[in-house]
Structure 1
């Protein structure tokens, strides 16, 4: 996982935290495959944050 981008920026602190969490789990992702070889793929992951 690389080139993590936040589309709708809810604020700098939440943006940094979302990126930090995604970077911490990047070893658990499986790359896209084409002809049995890993390839780059784009993926959108919606994250909803509720603040009370």
Structure 2
């Protein structure tokens, strides 16, 4: 999971952890033949892709 440390590194302290009260920006990724493929994207808790 890539989340908490990168978010903190760029000053996004309200992100990076999945818990109640946090922003829900999530990306679900699958790896096919060593290539990451985005499967689903949620922004502010709503599925957008």
| TM-score, normalised by the number of residues in structure 2 | 0.29
Give the structure with the larger strand fraction: 2
Give the structure with the larger helix fraction: 1
Kindly name which structure, 1 or 2, has the bigger radius of gyration based on alpha carbons.
1
| TM-score, normalised by the number of residues in structure 1 | 0.28
